[in-house]
Structure 1
């Protein structure tokens, strides 16, 4: 097996007989070796087969800053995710998870715990990915000796969601952008205001809209749960202006994409619209 590129003493880039790029790992595998030389197969401990040729270079760049143990952690999580969710994940998820987990572990060791403001949405809309995220915490604990919070499981779930979306093709990506942009414009016109794009509420709203658009593109249906009708009545009476705006969004989506929005979707959409506009409304009135 010929070396195409040396990343460090323990990790190299090569390819298999089918011409697929492989990142190969083993202790001292590439010590005093260079491109064009042969790898000793007895030293190979782990192999990562990649479909995307550009990803190997990104992994190589990251390995200059991040210990290769995080590639092992990422691979264990991704392998588990593929068994549960099926194929269709972008190879870039290796880079994203390596980088994210390395940074998260460093933060945790420094006593910095970041809360995930979207954890309730992730738990509700991406149950499978969140369960994988919880199991990923076990893997991190085994490999790094650190037990992280559920917020981290939600963050890992987000990377899995993004990876699956990025593998769905350009048409889906374009449609997602259109839904997000058009919904933002509906909100702006309804309230006759420009939304503060520097606010945390805007970031939350934008993330919610991306998830919303992903579900639309995939034609996913959300099951109603006990209490949803009560919540629907509550937000309808408590946030009438935001609810009226959400009805405009629902009408647009149904007419444009033939995708009816559930009661559950309207509840979350109304709450987010209220949050992203209410503070600006108060400032404008004051």
Structure 2
């Protein structure tokens, strides 16, 4: 690889085997180097093949100003997320998460912590992502000796969720509101609260996250309708009240989001509602 552009001593732009621009990172990678020099492959510890020009430009601008240590923290968090979450994590998370971590640390150095107004919801709806956020705070404390509030774990979790579902942070807030609406509808229907620490509740919230994504994208599952119809007939007789509650959810979503639920979606809602109301 030959250096095409030096961003700083640790980050350069080069070309891959397809002659496409990529960003490579490594401590001292460009120290004493100039454009046109060869890169020592043994010093490369991360490669970013950012396909969208706009994303690459954001990454380039960010890496010019942000020390490599922030990117390394992001990399550790993202690698852990890819192992522990059953979803795709887009490389664009390197941009948003590194920028957020850098900004947060600078804020804390100035004594300006921020409150996360959705912390309660994040802890319950995005439990695994929140735990990753807490783990990221431990990395920051070990490296910079800054003890951040759990609010920051919530902010980091939201960036991870945004990457998982391939949408902007503002869309994640909309998704969170969607989950709140459905859970409130179920609580009001049965006139009772649920164990928000239970596995059934967490699974229902997780289902609603991806169900909400289909609603916002107006997309459907391609499943065997005849099989779903048969299963739904069985479930609506076995779980009468959960099924009727699922119909209430169906009516609400069709009215507010103009999304028509198929039998498969009603089936899954019935099953999840049955599980959370039977959970002791």
Indicate whether the TM-score tops 0.5: yes
Q: Is the CA contact (8 Å cut-off) linking 1:74 and 1:98 kept in structure 2?
A: yes
TM-superposed CA distance for 1:120, in Å, is 0.8
TM-score of the aligned structures, taking structure 1 as reference length: 0.60
TM-score of the aligned structures, taking structure 2 as reference length: 0.61
State the Cα RMSD in Å. 3.8
Tell me the equivalent position of 1:96. Answer: 96
Tell me the equivalent position of 2:153. Answer: 153
Gaps of 5+ in 2: 195-248, 274-280
Tell me the equivalent position of 1:270. Answer: none
Tell me the equivalent position of 1:271. Answer: none
Q: How many residues align?
A: 208
Q: Secondary structure at the match of 1:14?
A: strand
TM-superposed CA distance for 1:207, in Å, is 6.0
Q: Is the CA contact (8 Å cut-off) linking 1:21 and 1:53 kept in structure 2?
A: no
Q: What are the Cα deviations for residues 156-176 of structure 1, in whole angstroms up to 9, with x where unaligned?
A: 000011111227xxxxx9xxx
Q: Is the CA contact (8 Å cut-off) linking 1:13 and 1:56 kept in structure 2?
A: no
Alignment of 1:1-286 (within 5 A): 1-17=1-17, 22-42=22-42, 44=43, 46-54=45-53, 55-86=55-86, 88-166=88-166, 208-212=173-177, 229-231=191-193, 249-252=252-255, 256-258=259-261
In structure 2, distance between residues paired with 1:62 and 1:7: 10
In structure 2, distance between residues paired with 1:137 and 1:50: 27
Tell me the equivalent position of 1:277. Answer: none
TM-superposed CA distance for 1:229, in Å, is 4.0
Q: Is the CA contact (8 Å cut-off) linking 2:26 and 2:46 kept in structure 1?
A: no
Q: Is the CA contact (8 Å cut-off) linking 2:50 and 2:56 kept in structure 1?
A: no
